[in-house]
Amino acid sequence: MAGGTGAAITMGMLCIGVLLRVLWRLPIPLTVFGAGLVLLAGDVWLSRMPPQAAPADLGRFNFFHYLLDALIVTFVVQQLGGDWIGAFFYLFVILHANISLRRAYSAIVTAVCVVAFVFSVLMAYHGLAPTRLLPGRQPLSSDPSYVAVIILVVGIGAMVLFSITFGTFAATLRARTDELGEANLQLEQAAERLRGHRDELEQEVDRRTRDLRTALSHLRSTHEELRRLDELKTNFLANVSHELRTPLTSIRSFAEILLQFPDEESANQEEFLQIIAAEADRLARLIDDVLDISKIESGHMDWHFSSVDLTSLLSFCVRSMAPLAAAKGLDLRLDLSCDLPLARADRDRIAQVLNNLLGNALKFTERGQVTVGAAASDAEVRIYVADTGPGIPEAEREHVFEKFHQVSDGLTTKPRGTGLGLAICAEIIASHGGRIWVDSTPGAGSIFHFTLPVEQRDSRVLPARRRSRQKLVLIADSDHAARALHHAALEQAGYAVKEAANGREALRLAASLAPDLVCVDVLPADMSGLAVLRALRSGTDTRRIPVIMVSVMEDKEWALQLGVVRHLVKPLAGAELVAAVEETLAAREREAAGDASADMTSRPAGGG
Amino acid sequence: MESVRLILIADDEPYIVRALSFVLAKAGYSVVTAGDGAEALERITSDRPALAFLDLMMPKLDGYEVCRRVKSDPALSDTYIIILTAKGQRADKACGMALGADEYITKPFSPTAIVKQVQRVMGA
């Protein structure tokens, strides 16, 4: 430490002085040592000065320090008669004082001191400064020389001035440096915080970008889906148009021919009239089929689900087809090993499926037999229609249920079917939640199978469930993740929940389970949410069930006009859905209670 | 050698074939028929009718393909081709004409009008 160095030098000075007095008997007065001790004390005190002191304090401190030094030096030099030894001590004092300050300006002060020292020596040598120590020279006077005093004062004054100025300057510099250091620290902290904010913002931007990308890809796939559906619809219309015009052409042509050739032979006339009649029938059947399939696909079909006795239905269908079989010489039989369980189905539509399959079998089989049979398991019943006809080639088997597909059977002289029969069967079975498929061996025959779900016993507990507290909510959404999320939220809130992954399943479950509320997404994969909604509103079993619609579009008016009770916007939090469900059901209960009390008040007082 | 009074009717709808054959026979033309595109091409090649009615939606080869093959074969290209179909869109018509068909008539048609058309093309 600088103060420590100064203290060391002062000590050194004292030692040298002691040596001079003791060894060479120079008359250095004891007061010099006393002054030296005081200087030492001053140095020690300086060394304890805290470095962080305010610039003003430091300057003041330095000032008093050096003032003290100056006084002591003056005293010392005076004692020594202002001679070169005094100057020597004087120089040392200055030097040590400088060491405790910054080296930068100590050079200047040292230079001043060197000059002062040189002047002192010169003055002493020329007798201007009185000395008791130089041999042979008498002091001019016993008073210290005024020149020496002036030099002393100037030197000390300069030194004091410098020390104050530069001391203050140094202190200020130090303080400013500290301030800058402090400010720099704060700036760095601020920069650090900014970096933190920037990182957070970047993460947020990343998150938003990811969300946007996901939304964009959803939109893209929805767009693609819509485009595909539109294309299918256009193709369907083109096909229907073609199919309708064909019988129409025959009817018109032959009518015109009959008019133009009234004298044509009667055999021909009869033939032409029969053709007209047959083609008119064909046109009528085609129109029925087109309407059927359009209704099912767009959700306008009015399903009437009930518990169907399959055994009696199968017997009935087989009996009604018996004359046709007999006319062709075919063997038609019903193969039931046991009684079948009840199925949850629309009786008329299943009859339609059976008649279609039986009709095809009888039409395409020339000889042999047609067999109708069934097998049952816990969950479903499988019904099959087997024939010994020409069979269906492997390549065609996957297309057989497509619209307007006609099996190329080589029987071009016979009037063909509408091409929609199997497609309609497929739609009906799908709407029941079953499967339909065909096995075939070309040359040996074909077997058409379809399944129907067995009526579950617990669905008969419906009225009891109504009386109990738990409400059933049906969720229809093609997005598996969203379904799971809402399912969990509703179950946690105490509701029983059933899920449907597509429109058809939703309608089937709505009809058979009679839930208390249905929640529909706008675009399940096979039918639009709109179609499902219309179907629910038109079905006799499902008309009164409240529907909540969830969509990405914000246009509520349109949805409410279609009859939804609430319209919620995606993305939908589980809590939001639960709240909407509770509100809706509560409102319904109030309505029902209101109706009930109205009923009660209208009853005669004696009770009904 | 082309037979001036021979006409081909190619359509997989038997009643249409019957109606057209009847009126054309009444008008004095000879008629051959085909039930699918392959048979139609065969007939054109072997019997060389002067005029051919082609339906578009036929099994095996459709009307477009038959038309294309006939018109690109120098030996057959002078056969007068009338496309007769229920497909009435502008796009379908343009497609047919682009393939070289001489005429395009949509169903339902009037048989008498067809006969008049044939007479105009071939000379009574």
Mean pLDDT of A422-446: 89
A279 to B15: CB separation less than 8 angstroms, yes or no: yes
Could you write out the DSSP letters of every residue in A218-233? HHHHHHHHHHHHHHHH
Rounded distance between C-alpha atoms, residue A498 and residue A504, angstroms = 14
pLDDT digits (tens, 9 = 90+) for A65-91: 666 665 666 555 555 555 555 555 555
B112 inside 8 A of chain A by CB: yes
A252 inside 8 A of chain B by CB: yes
B89 to A257: CB separation less than 8 angstroms, yes or no: no
Chain A positions in Cβ-Cβ contact with residue B33 (cut-off 8 Å) = none
Using omega within 30 degrees of 0 as the cis cutoff, is the peptide bond preceding B108 cis? yes
Which residue from A minimizes the CA distance to B34? A412
Which residue from A minimizes the CA distance to B35? A412
Select from A50, A58, A170 the least CA-distant residue to A109: A170
B21 inside 8 A of chain A by CB: no
A399 inside 8 A of chain B by CB: no
Cα-based torsion angle of the residue sequence A78, A84, A86, A87 in order, rounded to the nearest 10 degrees: 110
Nearest to A245 among B14, B86, B89 (CB): B86
Q: Please tell me the pTM assigned to this model.
A: 0.52
Q: Could you tell me which residue, A47 or A600, shows the higher pLDDT?
A: A47
pLDDT digits (tens, 9 = 90+) for B84-119: 887 767 777 788 788 888 888 888 888 889 999 999
Select from A531, A523, A568 the least CA-distant residue to A550: A568
The tokens for A421 are: 């029969």
B15 to A254: CB separation less than 8 angstroms, yes or no: yes
pLDDT digits (tens, 9 = 90+) for A365-417: 888 999 999 988 878 899 999 999 888 888 888 888 888 777 655 444 444 67
Chain B positions in Cβ-Cβ contact with residue A280 (cut-off 8 Å) = none
In this predicted structure, what is the pLDDT of residue A56?
58
**What is the ipTM, given to two decimal places?**
0.89
Chain B positions in Cβ-Cβ contact with residue A261 (cut-off 8 Å) = 26
Pick one of 3.40.50.2300, 3.20.20.80, 3.20.20.70, 3.30.70.1020 as the CATH number of B3-122: 3.40.50.2300
B92 inside 8 A of chain A by CB: no
Instruction: Kindly list the domain boundaries of chain B, sorted by start residue.
Output: 3-122
In this predicted structure, what is the pLDDT of residue A70?
57
In this predicted structure, what is the pLDDT of residue A554?
60
Measured in angstroms, the CA of B110 and the nearest CA of chain A are apart by: 6
CA atoms within 13 A on the CB side of A549: 27
Rounded distance between C-alpha atoms, residue A321 and residue A357, angstroms = 11
Rounded distance between C-alpha atoms, residue A544 and residue A539, angstroms = 9
Cα-based torsion angle of the residue sequence A91, A96, A98, A101 in order, rounded to the nearest 10 degrees: -170
Answer for the pair A351, A316: CB distance below 8 angstroms, yes or no.
yes
The residues pairing with A447 across neighbouring beta strands, listed in sequence order, are A386, A439
A408 to B111: CB separation less than 8 angstroms, yes or no: no
Whether residue A472 is predicted with pLDDT greater than 80 in this model: the reply is: yes
Nearest to B111 among A248, A256, A279 (CB): A256
The tokens for A575 are: 């809590």
In this predicted structure, what is the pLDDT of residue A599?
52
Q: Three-class SS of residue A496? A: strand
The tokens for A259 are: 């008019």
Gyration radius of chain B's alpha carbons: 13
For the stretch A370-399, what's the b/e string if a residue is b when 16 or more beta carbons lie within 10 angstroms of its beta carbon?
Answer: bbbbbebeeebbebbbbbbbbbbeeebbee
Nearest to A253 among B12, B26, B111 (CB): B111
Answer for the pair A80, A89: CB distance below 8 angstroms, yes or no.
yes
Q: What residues 269-288 of chain A have any CB closer than 8 A to a CB of chain B?
A: 275, 279
Answer for the pair A530, A562: CB distance below 8 angstroms, yes or no.
yes
A275 to B15: CB separation less than 8 angstroms, yes or no: yes
pLDDT digits (tens, 9 = 90+) for A447-467: 999 999 887 665 444 444 454
Whether residue A6 is predicted with pLDDT greater than 80 in this model: the reply is: no
Measured in angstroms, the CA of B61 and the nearest CA of chain A are apart by: 14
B111 to A279: CB separation less than 8 angstroms, yes or no: no
Mean pLDDT of A37-61: 61
Which residue from B minimizes the CA distance to A249? B108
Could you write out the DSSP letters of every residue in A235-271? HHHHHHHHHHHHHHHHHHHHHHHHHH-TTS-HHHHHH
Q: Could you tell me which residue, A82 or A340, shows the higher pLDDT?
A: A340
> Which domains does chain A possess?
2-184 (no CATH), 305-453 (3.30.565.10), 459-599 (3.40.50.2300)
DSSP single-letter state for residue A420: -
In this predicted structure, what is the pLDDT of residue A174?
84
The bridge status of strand B80-85 relative to strand B49-54 is parallel
A408 inside 8 A of chain B by CB: yes
In this predicted structure, what is the pLDDT of residue B122?
83
B59 inside 8 A of chain A by CB: yes
Q: Three-class SS of residue A338? A: coil
Chain A positions in Cβ-Cβ contact with residue B87 (cut-off 8 Å) = 238, 242
B25 inside 8 A of chain A by CB: no
Select from A548, A545, A562 the least CA-distant residue to A511: A545
Which residue from A minimizes the CA distance to B23? A257
Measured in angstroms, the CA of A284 and the nearest CA of chain B are apart by: 17
Rounded distance between C-alpha atoms, residue A162 and residue A561, angstroms = 95
Answer for the pair A471, A356: CB distance below 8 angstroms, yes or no.
no
